[in-house]
Structure 1
Amino acid sequence: MKQFYRVMKPWLLILLRRRQRFLVGALLVWVTLLAGLALLGLSGWFIAACALAGILLAAGLPSNLDIYVPGGGIRFFALLRTVARYAERLYNHNTVLTLLADLRYRVFGNLTRLDEATLKRRRASEWLSRLTSDIDTLDNLYLRLLIPPFVGLLSILVVSGFIALWLPVLGGLIAAVLSMLWLVVTLGFAWFGFSNSYQQVDDQEELRRLVLDQVQASAELMSYQTNHWYRTRVNRHEAQALSNQRRLAYKSSIGNALVLAVTGVLLVSVLWLGSFAVAAGQVAGPIVVMAVIAVLGINEIFTTLPAAFLKTGASYGAAQRLNTLADTSSETPSLTFPNAYRGHPVTFNHVSFRYPETAHSVLSDIAFTLPAGERAVMTGISGSGKSTLASLIMGRISPSQGKVYVANCTPSHVTEESRADHFALLTQHVDLFDGSLAANLRIANTEASDQQLMEVLSQVALDDWVMQQPKQLNTQVGEKGQQLSGGQARRVALARVLLRDPAVVLLDEPFAGVDALTAMHIAKSLDHWLVGRTVIYFVHQVEEPALLPNVNYHWRLAEGKLNTDTFDNVGNNPS
């Protein structure tokens, strides 16, 4: 129980921030439920009283019955139930959406503090699962595990206390039986279905991963004729998940049967004991009818509880997985880079790096210093560690051994805002959003004018193409830049970099996907723009030295080690 509370505590604290809304929502549910019970009970009493009055009149006996007061009460409770139900649904749905926004804000905040090494340990679909399915699972905690049992317990006390005004023993019996039933369908069924619902969270994530893999790799599966083999894997896991889900449904049906059986026996017991009270002249018959119908109506409280509490394990599992984000997220950095007049110096002091759960280091004992305002070219084959080295400079990851300094500051200890102001990185992977060309460029500088956008497009040799488009800067690039060629998309990404004013610039294959003439045009534009900035080019090999003017440092990464003394003046191996 202590472990359960420890896991759930961060999410319960979020709820406490909205405790006023929670209590108002619970009150509305309670009023709605009591209005329904009052409507049933008063209607039952009124019908029974009218029937008895009719029997007396038919027998020629005098009878007196006020129909106006109970009739007005029935209309009042019917109207109250309708209004309260509408207000409750409107208010509580708004509360739940607000709570979900709070949850997503917290989880996304934890994700943004994770370094690149931690992010790479899981697939993008798994991180998306944290933001969607795990948070939606926690919705069960607020909407079904807190309000209904709280309201149900209050209703049991009110109904049994009301009946005890005429029949104390009967009221006590109803309170005892329904309280025991409440404990069984809440705490008991939370334990009863914990393992199955906990497993359901893992089953859903694994099934989602398998299906996404199948969709993303559909071309390869079809070309290698392995669709059937992979579909068998999906079917096997789907069968396991369905089997577990079937067991949960079976336990839910047991809960519903238990609720119906107990309330049914209680209903008969109330009727039986009430008949003795009527025979003894202790209470009028319509009062017993009212008690019976009230017990029948209170059954509504319990019908949703077994299924809801069977999913306690799912809520626990989701909270447990979300808590790991907070446990692994790094501390919020507080340093800022100093103002740069001529770039920042970059120093690696015997740096090694190994990704978690891997056997070998990506980088081993890397040591170099790049003075402020100088340019370097780093060559190496794919997988040699160039991207990892760039991530270390950017502060996205921290070295396993050694120290990285930019302007005498450890990059990972510098705030994201300061890093964004002082760094610019062009990666091989281009991220373009489904919007206009101007909107994609203004990601780098929201205040940029159309003239500034055209200037940077001219620097990457895209201005003529843009002017030929009917919508020019408002041309839609499509999702992930699908309306552009690969070379055009990379040049748009480079144009975004040119809209910034960084001190340190990292360019990963800046001339990939363009012809020789365009590459020379871009190189001249870059040479002018890079004056006074610290620059590192990351390329596989230097094929045309003229594209890299004013480069004074030539290094090569091979098998995680940095070689600086066995290459010619353009960074290529002469052997």
Structure 2
Amino acid sequence: MTSLRRLHRELAPWLRLLARRRRRLILGTLLLVMTVASAIGLLALSGWFITATAVAGALLAAGGAASLDVYVPGGGIRLFAVMRTVSRYLERLYNHDSVLRLLADLRGGMFQVLARLDAQALSRRRASEWLNRLTADIDTLDSLYLRLLAPPAVALLAILGAALLLGIFAPRVGTAVGLVLLGLWCWLVLGQAWLGMAASQRRVATLDRLRAHAIEHLQGLAELRAYGSLGRHRGEMASVETSLYRDQRYLGRVAASGNALVGLGVSLAMLLALWLAAQAYAAGTLTGPLMVMMPLAVLALGEAFVGLPVAFTQLGATRAAARRLNALGQSRSAIVESPAPRLVGDGPAELCLEAVSLRYPGALTPSLEEVSLTLGRGEQLALLGASGAGKSSVALLFARLLDPDRGRVRLDGVDLQELKLGSLRSRIGYLTQRVELFHDSIAANLRLARPEANAAELWRVLEAVELADWARDLPKGLETSVGEGGRQLSGGQARRLGLARVLLLDAPVVILDEPFTGLDRPLARRIATRLESWLAGRTVLYLLHQLGDEQVTPVGIQRSLRLVAGRLESVVEREQ
């Protein structure tokens, strides 16, 4: 009972989500019931009709008198045959559409949770783990209705319906068959789940580890080879694979045993029905056609059981996915808005760090330590430093995607924690080091900055980053898809599309992290010149590795500071 209560608690949030679409799910279940009922009716009526026809023919051949209405049962057989085909088609179409709608609801809800998390909360897991939550774990939950709720309910209704049908003509047959099939149903639902629970739960975790290892292996191939760790890393992947295959083979054997048990159980119930019906026929309480009809009706019940073994063998996977998604759903950002937040003004603002220190969870050293700097209103400042020096952390603090461990971050003298988050972030245009693009059109990716922007405004910002001519030559223009993660674009095109999105926001405060990465020098110089007039009068923070000849220096920088290992070590007077 404790295990069942725990299972219900883990699945309860998802059952409540299913309940929002209860009408669709009830209709889908009724289509399943209709399909199984048609199969039982088709086989049972066919058996009765063939036997009745044979008996009538034998009597006529022997010189006896017999009559049989062939039209009504013949019409019934055709009705059941057509109804089974149509209901099966509609059930598959309708239920899969319902499940896709549910998965969309799940992904939308989980993405909203992720979007609200702060940078420190997101850094606690690898990107591959977050991806697994949004894809693999949610996909696993599609079995909750389609395999774990509707099919066993339909199978139970089919057992009760068949037992009642047989019991009308022979109570002993109906009772005996009902008890046998109920026992089979209980094992397929509870026994298969018990046998596969641990292995199917392990399989979800193991598959998660394998995906993470594979992504790390591909992304860090050069480093692993350079440090001589490639063989060891491959060995770890092979070990995880071996564990995964072991559980998959075990689960396959359990599911196959369940399928064999379905065939055996239904066959034994059919033989039991035939034996008891034959006794009733011998006793003169049952006609020959009805005696044949009963085992055939039981045989048709196999269709109701066919999906149960695999579904309940994998119940642990659904349970593990639900548990992981529950933990994600309960995640809360450390960024908490003030009870009475203040709105941010419209114009350029002064940004200030006051003795700020920051350490990421699990990090050996602080990302920032006692950093104080002021970015004046309308000033353009370059913050220089090597990778890992803390430049991106400063940007995250200004955008309030992080809160400092110590110290304060102020905008126009007001602590960011007193400002309304939406108001603050809508007034900061932030080009991150890695541009995030969605599997959608160029226009849709631009309108993430300003959904109400018209086509003319989109072309204007594309012109500023020299993507307009390229976009006009595309067959679909602004409606051209950029591919998953922007894979249809080159690195430089993706970078410029991200910069165009910042321009479209038209924010008074702008943070640009290596804005010209991936661009050739002539193109970078032209875009830097175009940006000069647009950035004039705005508060601008550039995050750069260095200034000088090795890369294009943004026009308009008035002051430069350098970060070294999280500390402001020196002031650079406009390096050239």
Cα deviation, residue 391, structure 1:
0.7
State the one-letter code of the partner of 2:113. N
Question: Greater CA deviation, 107-116 or 206-215?
Answer: 206-215
Aligned to 2:56, what secondary structure does the other structure show? helix
Q: For residue 351 of structure 2, what is the aligned residue in structure 1? A: 346
Cα deviation, residue 435, structure 1:
9.0
Question: Greater CA deviation, 531-540 or 128-137?
Answer: 531-540
Matched, 1:385 2:367: no
Counterparts of residues 211-250 of structure 1 (less than 5 Å) = 211-217=214-220, 230-250=233-253
Output the CA distance in 1 between the equivalents of 2:173 and 2:362: 65
What is the TM-score of this pair, normalised by structure 1? 0.85
Q: For residue 163 of structure 2, what is the aligned residue in structure 1? A: 160
Q: For residue 567 of structure 2, what is the aligned residue in structure 1? A: 561
Question: Contact between 2:29 and 2:154, CA under 8 Å: does it hold in 1?
Answer: yes
Q: For residue 558 of structure 2, what is the aligned residue in structure 1? A: 551
> After superposition, what is the alpha-carbon deviation per residue over 1:290-333, rounded to whole angstroms, capped at 9, x for unaligned?
11111111122122211111111000111111122212243885
Q: For residue 26 of structure 2, what is the aligned residue in structure 1? A: 23
Output the CA distance in 2 between the equivalents of 1:87 and 1:432: 37
Q: For residue 279 of structure 1, what is the aligned residue in structure 2? A: 282
Aligned to 1:361, what secondary structure does the other structure show? coil
1:400 is aligned, of 386, 401, 405, to: 405
Output the CA distance in 1 between the equivalents of 2:481 and 2:150: 48
> After superposition, what is the alpha-carbon deviation per residue over 1:260-282, rounded to whole angstroms, capped at 9, x for unaligned?
22222222222222222112222
> After superposition, what is the alpha-carbon deviation per residue over 1:210-258, rounded to whole angstroms, capped at 9, x for unaligned?
3334444556677889776655443333222111111001111221222
Question: Contact between 1:438 and 1:473, CA under 8 Å: does it hold in 2?
Answer: no
Change in 2 beyond 3 A, CA 1:337/1:378:
farther
Structure 2: state its 5+ residue gaps: none
Q: For residue 39 of structure 2, what is the aligned residue in structure 1? A: 36
> After superposition, what is the alpha-carbon deviation per residue over 1:385-426, rounded to whole angstroms, capped at 9, x for unaligned?
11011111112223233443335253697344x344300123
Structure 1: state its 5+ residue gaps: none
Question: Contact between 1:379 and 1:571, CA under 8 Å: does it hold in 2?
Answer: no
Question: Contact between 1:456 and 1:498, CA under 8 Å: does it hold in 2?
Answer: no
Question: Contact between 2:342 and 2:418, CA under 8 Å: does it hold in 1?
Answer: no
Aligned to 1:5, what secondary structure does the other structure show? helix
Counterparts of residues 380-529 of structure 1 (less than 5 Å) = 380-407=385-412, 408=414, 410=416, 414-416=420-422, 418-430=423-435, 444=449, 447=453, 453=459, 457=463, 462=466, 480=486, 486=492, 490=495, 493-510=498-515, 526=531, 528-529=533-534
Output the CA distance in 1 between the equivalents of 2:64 and 2:476: 93
Change in 2 beyond 3 A, CA 1:357/1:327:
farther
Question: Contact between 1:30 and 1:151, CA under 8 Å: does it hold in 2?
Answer: yes
2:117 is aligned, of 114, 118, 142, to: 114
Q: Tell me how many residue pairs correspond in the alignment.
A: 564
Aligned to 2:141, what secondary structure does the other structure show? helix
Cα deviation, residue 537, structure 1:
2.9
Output the CA distance in 2 between the equivalents of 1:467 and 1:81: 54
Q: For residue 179 of structure 2, what is the aligned residue in structure 1? A: 176
Question: Contact between 1:144 and 1:308, CA under 8 Å: does it hold in 2?
Answer: yes
Aligned to 1:187, what secondary structure does the other structure show? helix
> After superposition, what is the alpha-carbon deviation per residue over 1:148-179, rounded to whole angstroms, capped at 9, x for unaligned?
11111111111101111121122111222211
Question: Contact between 1:441 and 1:453, CA under 8 Å: does it hold in 2?
Answer: no
Output the CA distance in 1 between the equivalents of 2:331 and 2:317: 22
Change in 2 beyond 3 A, CA 1:300/1:215:
same
Cα deviation, residue 514, structure 1:
7.0
State the one-letter code of the partner of 2:160. L
Cα deviation, residue 20, structure 1:
0.7
Output the CA distance in 1 between the equivalents of 2:46 and 2:324: 50
| Identity value in percent | 41
Matched, 1:50 2:43: no
Cα deviation, residue 339, structure 1:
5.2
Change in 2 beyond 3 A, CA 1:152/1:212:
same
Q: For residue 364 of structure 2, what is the aligned residue in structure 1? A: 359
Aligned to 2:121, what secondary structure does the other structure show? helix
2:104 is aligned, of 101, 104, 113, to: 101
Aligned to 1:398, what secondary structure does the other structure show? coil
Cα deviation, residue 51, structure 1:
2.3
State the one-letter code of the partner of 1:348. L
Aligned to 2:505, what secondary structure does the other structure show? coil
Change in 2 beyond 3 A, CA 1:71/1:358:
same
Output the CA distance in 1 between the equivalents of 2:475 and 2:272: 81
Output the CA distance in 2 between the equivalents of 1:447 and 1:437: 13
> After superposition, what is the alpha-carbon deviation per residue over 1:94-142, rounded to whole angstroms, capped at 9, x for unaligned?
2122112212211222222222222233333332222222111111111
Counterparts of residues 294-305 of structure 1 (less than 5 Å) = 294-305=297-308
1:199 is aligned, of 195, 199, 202, to: 202
Question: Contact between 1:411 and 1:419, CA under 8 Å: does it hold in 2?
Answer: no
What is the TM-score of this pair, normalised by structure 2? 0.85
Question: Greater CA deviation, 533-542 or 290-299?
Answer: 533-542
Question: Contact between 2:431 and 2:513, CA under 8 Å: does it hold in 1?
Answer: yes
